[in-house]
A and B are shown apart, each in its own frame.
Chain A
Amino acid sequence: MPTVSVGRDRLFSVLGETYTQEEFEDLCFRFGIELDDVTTEKAIIRKEKHLEEEEVDDDEEVIYKIEVPANRYDLLCLEGLAQALRVFNKQEDVPNYSVAEISKVSMLKMHVKPETSQIRPYVVCAVLRGITFDEGSYNSFIDLQDKLHQNICRRRTLVAIGTHDLDKLEGPFTYEALPPSSINFKPLKQEKSFRADELMEFYKSDLKLKKFLHIIEKSPVFPVLYDKRRTVLSLPPIINGAHSAITLKTKNVFIECTATDLTKANIVLNTVVTTFSEYCEKKFEVEPVEVIYASGKSYICPDLSPYKMDVPLSYITDSIGVALEAKEVTNLLNRMQLSAEELVSTIGQCNITVSVPPTRSDVLHPCDVMEDVAIAYGYNNIPRRKLASLKSLPLNEFSDLIRTEIAMNGFTEVLTWILCSHKENFDMLNRKDDKSTAVIIGNPRSADFEIVRTSLMPGILKTVGHNKDHPKPIKIFEVGDITLLDDAKDVGAANRRQLAALYCGANSGFELIHCLVDRIMEVVGAPFVAVGDNLGYYIKLSEEPEFLPGRQASIIYRGKRIGTFGIVHPEVLNNFDIPDPCSFVELNIESFLEVS
């Protein structure tokens, strides 16, 4: 996206309003441009020269670097930007650009020689009469040409712009293509005359111009423009002649655009003349030039007539998804520099007739008009419509994520029963039943199904006990629900999602289980913190009966105890008929889902 640098104070004075940076950013955002950077002239120079940051003077002029859409050539300079924003803010109406009415006889002429078709076949011209530049507008005029050359002109390959002091020239003009050796003139900023082929050699060392030489270098003929007295206007797309150079004092500007693409040449010419016609004696009026080809074909340029487009109101409202009256739509379009009128057709269909001004070459299709309505209405004011979609349960989705992580750490998943015997859940784990935790089955078919587990531990230990012959170490895990009595629930009990893992081998693997705890915390993004810190997790010695004293600890996450790990007490192992030492961790994973 192209970026335009404008002086903030000059911009605000043209806008007739002073904004805070935030307010201006908001205006840009709504209009679809972006305040990319805020700097000063001196800072830019310092940066270019790679100088150290010096003391910044308060009186340095603040420069706004504004990013504009790549197809909005009319916004490539301060004048165009300011006008678009003034119209958007309803401070001003869309200007009406016109071509001065002069008879064909007194109109300036540009004769195109057939040889130009070998190298750069098109030219369009116009005149800005009675212009008054000041330093700001003059610089802006030069900058705009530069921006156009960089963007739509594709670094002068498609179009090259030449601007001249018309009072130093005399029409009619000719556009020719001649062998380089027969062209001789004094180029801009040089003291002496050069032959065109020598000039090309000379510019090979010119940092700014050498990149354009390739466009014509290899051609046997170079494009060149002359006036009646054979004064060279320019050698496009390289350089203008010094004779007709414009200055701050220039009153009448002759503009020529030579091109390989006529459409883009017209867009470029229109952009330059419409933007700077506001400084002319007759505001927004441009004097035409007739371009005559050897074939006899001719045209008068610029063509500033608006492009008419009939857009059904329903197309606009249906596409945006907001019901708007025709009047509202035309008002919104006016703010986007598109004059629009309501037109009711005979069959009762309401159309909006849009006059696309010469500045808005980006408007190609009714969809562009529709977009402008949407922008003026405000993208962020459009009510959203929701398409049908589904959501999975976060708890289950998270469980699946964490299951994968544990498996990737070399643990094998087991899936054990929810139901177990009372003994397995309490006595065999060295735990006392204080009757406050477990859901009791009223009619168990066997002792295996007396209660709903309050921990994943019995299932895991039973699995190890039944796999005594499995090669060691055994590393298993389970993610599943337990049920606890809960008075807050209508039924008096609630599920909890638990994660448990066990190591069994020649030694207890306590440190391995400890590192699994660290890994679980790492994958949920919890930092290891000092004891007492509530922003992450820490480990604290615990005293649970199912674990060996001194080799067990609570896991404290955000100040809350979420689980325990340790070496399983040998008595407990013995109860489950496990001859090998084991370490075990169990923790509740629901806390990880709570939004911080």
Chain B
Amino acid sequence: MEEEAILSYLENREEIADSGQFASERGLDHDKVVNVIKSLHGYRYIDAQDIKRETWVLTEEGHTYAVAGSPEMQLFLAIPPEGISREELQKKLDPTIFKIGSSQAAKNKWLDMGKHISRKVQHAEDRVKNVLIEIKDGKAPEAEDVKALKTRKLIAPLIWKGYSVRKGPNYAPKRKKVATDLTRENMQRGDWKDLEFKEYNFCAKGQPAEGGHLHPLLKERVRQQLKMIFLQMGFEEMPTNNFVESSFWNFDALFQPQQHPARDSHDTFFLQAPSTTKQLPEDYVERVKEIHESGGYGSRGYAYEWKRDEANKNLLRTHTTAVSSRMLYLLAQNSFLPKRYFSIDRVFRNEAVDRTHLAEFHQIEGLVCDRGLTLGDLIGVLHDFFSRLGMENLRFKPAYNPYTEPSMEIFSYHEGFKKWVEIGNSGIFRPEMLRPMGLPEDVRVIAWGLSLERPTMILYGIDNIRDLFGHKVDLGLIKRNPICRLGVK
């Protein structure tokens, strides 16, 4: 009713100057009118300006006097023309009325006050009562009266709020329906034309998506992407689904001496069950023993007593190079064919777990086996590989590794850290490793390895490896991390 009144009134007119007046003229409740004005203003049908007025209302005491007359008049009327004793008069009146009445009547000089009270004037006018009635009826009192009544706390100020109203930018003679979404019903009823949409907040993100998420290390993100890179570079994948390995394939075949620190129990997980390997290729074992103990193929060997028991000890492979050694041995058993191999799989180290170390991680390994390979080929293949990972700027540092010579640590310049960061290891496999396998003398194998975690951590700015891998993982991180664009740029 109120909304219709306002909107239709404005259809042909400029403004509603005073909502209070508007309401009383139409017999509407002003409070209801105000609520409608606020709502229409919110949807910008109208523009509303505040207006304020100060008015007066009677206090409870004021109300009583408006009916019964002021206390001074009540007192005046209680005095007979001959006067009356103070005691008598007190008996006739309420003590409050007597108290206020006598003081006000005295002020008005209506009475002679003493033990005997008598009228000074014959007639008195009850102005207080009259003004109170006028205020009650909504008439504006004179300032003098207001002051007097306010002092006697018979009236109190009241702030009246209302509005002046004009058309707003969205003005329409009839309000449209407010909707949050377009529904099938709107489409069917065809009332979508009348829909008014609640304003949508584009400055906030939408709700979270409810899709599934793959692990950042495995999804197309990193592992899959690396696999693609290797395949494009002509590498074939090695079967690495064997965590249990013998010391022989993990160490001895790689010309890693039996007293090498990596073979200590505090670096490697040895096994209680199955504790030893059952079978090794005996003639090859013999050649490996020979090369460790007394050398051969131009090497002086390590000159120590090589123990079969050490080689037989089972362990959890400490590197996927154990698989590489098996693959190269197999390759040597037939007439030689050049090969490029890669693998990305789990390896194990008996290490204390901290922010940067885990007892297990993923190793990426690539190797090229061919005649006439040089250190220049290794450097070239590393540049090709790492540039596909987005690392263009490489530097190589001489290093030591028992089964590669030359050995090179690979460093990449990290723009974020503003320094050179070690990203992997590489080298040419030693003849002491390859020749006992039966590979021809002119066949060389260039290889490199890195962990899957390290570049991923650098890529995603993760500083605690446990956030990425293992059961203490941050699920939010798995969901949040962007797709790996290794080589895609």
- Is B a genuine binding partner of A? yes
Contact residues of A with B, CB < 8 Å? 1, 29-32, 34, 69-72, 151, 154, 158, 261, 263-264, 307, 318-322, 362, 364-368, 370-371, 374-375, 379-380, 382-392, 394, 397-398, 400-402, 404-405, 408-410, 505-508, 510-512, 514-519, 522-525, 528, 530-531, 538-541, 548, 550-551, 553, 567, 570, 573, 579-581, 593, 595
Kindly list the 3 A-B residue pairs having the minimum CB-CB distance in the complex, ordered from nearest: A32-B398, A321-B374, A321-B376
Contact of A307 among B208, B300, B380 (CB under 8 A): B300
Nearest A residue to B303 via CB reads A263
Q: Could you list some 24 contacts between A and B, CB below 8 A?
A: A69-B400, A70-B261, A364-B300, A371-B407, A382-B376, A385-B380, A386-B384, A387-B380, A390-B234, A391-B232, A394-B488, A402-B483, A408-B211, A408-B212, A409-B209, A505-B184, A506-B184, A508-B181, A516-B206, A516-B209, A539-B203, A540-B202, A550-B199, A567-B181
- B205 at interface (Cβ–Cβ under 8 A)? yes
Interface residues of B in 321-365 (CB under 8 A from A): 340
Residues of B within 8 A of A370 (CB): 405-406
Residues of A within 8 A of B220 (CB): 400-401, 404
Give the docked Cα–Cα distance between A261 and B374 (Å): 36
Q: What distance in Å separates the Cβ of B206 from its nearest Cβ neighbour in chain A?
A: 3
Residues of A within 8 A of B397 (CB): 29-30, 32, 34, 379
| Cβ-defined contact, A383 with B376, below 8 A | yes
Give the docked Cα–Cα distance between A402 and B184 (Å): 31
Q: How large is the interface on B (under 10, 10 to 19, 20 to 34, 35 or more residues)?
A: 35 or more
- B272 at interface (Cβ–Cβ under 8 A)? no
Interface residues of B in 2-55 (CB under 8 A from A): none
Nearest B residue to A67 via CB reads B399
| Cβ-defined contact, A515 with B212, below 8 A | no
| Cβ-defined contact, B374 with A319, below 8 A | yes
Residues of A within 8 A of B300 (CB): 307, 364-365
Known A-B contacts A516-B209, A593-B488; the reply to A365 vs B303 at CB < 8 A is: no
Contact of B200 among A261, A384, A517, A551 (CB under 8 A): A551
Give the docked Cα–Cα distance between A380 and B181 (Å): 64
- B83 at interface (Cβ–Cβ under 8 A)? no
Residues of B within 8 A of A366 (CB): 298
Mark each residue of chain B from 390 to 417: 1 if its CB lies under 8 Å from any CB of chain A, else 0: 0000011111101001111000000000
Question: Which of these binds chain A: B155-163, B424-432, B464-472?
Answer: B424-432
| Cβ-defined contact, B377 with A389, below 8 A | no
Nearest B residue to A594 via CB reads B489
Residues of B within 8 A of A388 (CB): 234
Nearest A residue to B202 via CB reads A539
Known A-B contacts A32-B398, A320-B376, A581-B187; the reply to A507 vs B303 at CB < 8 A is: no
Residue pairs across A and B with CB atoms within 8 Å: the count is: 238
| Cβ-defined contact, B209 with A519, below 8 A | yes
| Cβ-defined contact, A158 with B259, below 8 A | yes
Give the docked Cα–Cα distance between A142 and B184 (Å): 88
| Cβ-defined contact, B381 with A387, below 8 A | yes
Residues of A within 8 A of B379 (CB): 379, 382-385
| Cβ-defined contact, B406 with A371, below 8 A | yes
| Cβ-defined contact, A364 with B301, below 8 A | yes
| Cβ-defined contact, B375 with A570, below 8 A | no
Give the docked Cα–Cα distance between A217 and B19 (Å): 106
Contact of B428 among A367, A379, A404 (CB under 8 A): A367
Give the docked Cα–Cα distance between A379 and B380 (Å): 12
Nearest A residue to B396 via CB reads A379
Q: What distance in Å separates the Cβ of A327 from its nearest Cβ neighbour in chain B?
A: 20
Give the docked Cα–Cα distance between A535 and B137 (Å): 68
Known A-B contacts A510-B181, A539-B202; the reply to A320 vs B432 at CB < 8 A is: no
Residues of A within 8 A of B485 (CB): 398, 401
| Cβ-defined contact, A386 with B483, below 8 A | no
| Cβ-defined contact, A69 with B444, below 8 A | no
Known A-B contacts A263-B302, A389-B234; the reply to A525 vs B395 at CB < 8 A is: no
- B487 at interface (Cβ–Cβ under 8 A)? yes
- B144 at interface (Cβ–Cβ under 8 A)? no
Contact of A522 among B301, B304, B372, B482 (CB under 8 A): B482
| Cβ-defined contact, A72 with B483, below 8 A | no
| Cβ-defined contact, A518 with B206, below 8 A | yes
| Cβ-defined contact, B398 with A379, below 8 A | yes
| Cβ-defined contact, B197 with A551, below 8 A | yes
Contact of B482 among A321, A390, A525, A553 (CB under 8 A): A525
Residues of A within 8 A of B188 (CB): 579
Contact of B430 among A365, A392, A397, A405 (CB under 8 A): A365
Nearest A residue to B379 via CB reads A384
